A and B are shown apart, each in its own frame.
Chain A
Amino acid sequence: MDHTPPPFFKRGPAPLVRLFFFASLSLALLVVDARFRYVDGLRGWLALAAYPIQRAATWPIDVATSLGSYFSTQASLIEENQRLRAQLLASVQDAQRYQELQSEASEMRRMIGATEKLPVLAQPAEVLYLSRDPYAHRLFIDRGSVQGIKPGSPVADDTGVIGQVTRVHPLLSEVTLLTNPDQAIPVQVVRNGLRAVAFGGGASGMIELRYMPANAEVQDGDRLVTSGIDGTYPPGLAVATVVRIERDQERSFARVYCRPSAGIERGRYVLVLTSDTTRPPRPDEGQSKDRRGEKTRRLKGKDKSAAEKPAEKAEKAIGDDSQ
């Protein structure tokens, strides 16, 4: 006879077995997500499920600000009004000069035969919250693919670049901040046009220029702007100010530390910049191989005047990295 105990104390599989099951499931997910990005659909659905709670979590701040504005006195309102008017006056002057300069610049570009610069569209967005993860320097904004946000678009606030859209969900998007150690941005020193690549500095909240030759002409207080050679960031946006330079005798590179000019960890409203740069399509694999072969043949046969090539390649690599 086969006696099975009655299911009085039925509790399913033992906890250790369950732990093993869920741990291996999580590890599998981790590997799949980190290496192959197969689970972005699942991530989108989960993000949509978490969205109401995320949205609700910004509510206390909204209430606090609206309460604050409700109780703000007339005097402070008048003062603020005056200040804003003065600011507006200053920026109107700037805007007029900008239009004039822009027409002049496009005229000159036409004269030297350079391509026309494309206008950059800016879409305002509100910062929902910073990622609850001290390792990842990310924030979330309340615009997603429904509003036409595209991955890769640069994000700026009123004082400079803060980062780049890296993942787009239906109703919100993730912005990787410049301070993220994996984030790189091509920059240019305003004073002398020196080009460099700036990387995030992590928890310090700074960004650094790496791989600068020890005799690079950089000074304390130099302003850095985007160089625009990557095709992702429009040129001329303020990025950072140099605060400290370490020139070590032992190392062949100088380390340049800069403070971001935008309010990266603060501020509530940002602009998502979408420039419709018409980039040439990527060549096919076979075609590019053919061309490479052709090139090497040509190089072998002819002179080696293509000394510019490595620099061009490096720039391309930068552009690819920052996407």
Chain B
Amino acid sequence: MIPSSSQILLPARMSTIIGSFALALFLNFLPWPDLRLVPDFVALVLAFWCVRQPRLVGLGVGWMLGLLADAGNGVLLGQHALAYSLLAFLSVWLSRRILWFGPMLQSLHIALILLVTQAAVLVVRLAAGDSFPGWPIVVGPLIGAALWPVATWLLLLPQRRREREPAI
């Protein structure tokens, strides 16, 4: 029995995964007006691949992406690496469970995971001596979780079979 999807999907290609991470980094680096309200696209895509392909994408990938995000943003090296490895761990750990639910309940799980990730970053920042940036920072993860069904649909597009596959 295949949970939460009636279709048998094609195997995920490496190029799709790498391309989606590049796109997510691109979206993160866009000059947004208020960064606290913008979801972390890299976290979302990482959670997606950790849930869908836990054997291909895991903590190591998350850690490397975190380092890239840290260096790109000029923040303390390691804070996103820590947060993304935590996120990858939670997603891999919960992947079997999450896939049994429908899109809305999956979003709830993802919201929790993204909030924990954000909290990890917050703890590191507070420990490093920064001030609390205000409650709007919880909005970003919630919007990210709301985008989960869209992200699922988009990222599974390359793996869907075409409607009328020519019979061999």
A contact residues vs B (CB 8 Å cutoff):
11, 15-16, 18-19, 22-23, 25-30, 33-34, 39, 42-43, 46-47, 49-50, 53-54, 56-58, 60-61, 129-136, 138, 140, 167, 174, 181, 202-203
Indicate whether B115 reaches chain A with its CB closer than 8 angstroms.
Answer: no
Bound-complex Cα distance A37 to B27 (A) = 29
Indicate whether B73 reaches chain A with its CB closer than 8 angstroms.
Answer: yes
Q: Known contacts A19-B86, A26-B81, A30-B78: does B29 contact A132 (CB below 8 Å)?
A: yes
Indicate whether B109 reaches chain A with its CB closer than 8 angstroms.
Answer: no
Q: Are B78 and A133 in contact (CB under 8 A)?
A: no
Q: Are B78 and A27 in contact (CB under 8 A)?
A: yes
Q: Are B128 and A34 in contact (CB under 8 A)?
A: yes
The SS class assigned to the A binding surface is helix
Q: Are A56 and B75 in contact (CB under 8 A)?
A: no
Bound-complex Cα distance A46 to B75 (A) = 12
Q: Known contacts A11-B55, A15-B89, A136-B74: does B79 contact A30 (CB below 8 Å)?
A: yes
Q: Are A60 and B30 in contact (CB under 8 A)?
A: yes
Q: Could you say which residues of chain B place their CB within 8 Å of the CB of A18?
A: 58-60, 85, 89
Q: Known contacts A23-B82, A27-B78, A58-B31: does B72 contact A47 (CB below 8 Å)?
A: yes
Indicate whether B137 reaches chain A with its CB closer than 8 angstroms.
Answer: yes
Bound-complex Cα distance A136 to B74 (A) = 9
Bound-complex Cα distance A131 to B22 (A) = 18
Q: Are A43 and B71 in contact (CB under 8 A)?
A: yes
Q: Which of B31, B36, B55, B69 has the most CB of A within 10 A?
A: B31
Of A28, A50, A56, A136, which one neighbours B72 at CB under 8 angstroms? A50
Bound-complex Cα distance A211 to B168 (A) = 82
Q: Are A57 and B59 in contact (CB under 8 A)?
A: no
**5 interchain pairs (CB within 8 A)?**
A18-B59, A57-B30, A61-B31, A130-B35, A203-B133
The SS class assigned to the B binding surface is helix
Q: Are A30 and B36 in contact (CB under 8 A)?
A: no
Of B27, B68, B81, which one neighbours A22 at CB under 8 angstroms? B81
A-B pairs, 7 with minimum CB distance? A46-B71, A29-B78, A26-B82, A57-B29, A50-B72, A22-B85, A30-B78
Q: Are B26 and A53 in contact (CB under 8 A)?
A: yes
Q: Which residue of A lies closest to B25 (CB)?
A: A53
From residue 29 to 74 of chain B, which have CB atoms closer than 8 A to chain A?
29-32, 35-36, 55, 58-60, 62-63, 66-74
Of A15, A22, A43, A132, which one neighbours B77 at CB under 8 angstroms? A43
From residue 69 to 113 of chain B, which have CB atoms closer than 8 A to chain A?
69-79, 81-82, 85-86, 89, 92-93
Bound-complex Cα distance A134 to B73 (A) = 11
Q: Could you say which residues of chain A place their CB within 8 Å of the CB of B73?
A: 131-133, 136, 138
Contacts beyond the supplied A30-B128, A53-B25, A57-B31: 9 A-B pairs with Cβ under 8 Å: A22-B60, A26-B79, A30-B78, A33-B78, A43-B77, A49-B71, A50-B69, A50-B72, A57-B30
Of A25, A26, A34, A134, which one neighbours B137 at CB under 8 angstroms? A134
Indicate whether B165 reaches chain A with its CB closer than 8 angstroms.
Answer: no
**A42 → B minimal CB distance (Å):** 7
Of B63, B77, B137, which one neighbours A42 at CB under 8 angstroms? B77
Q: Are A54 and B86 in contact (CB under 8 A)?
A: no
Q: Could you say which residues of chain B place their CB within 8 Å of the CB of A28?
A: 78
Q: Could you say which residues of chain A place their CB within 8 Å of the CB of B70?
A: 46
Q: Known contacts A34-B128, A43-B77: does B71 contact A15 (CB below 8 Å)?
A: no
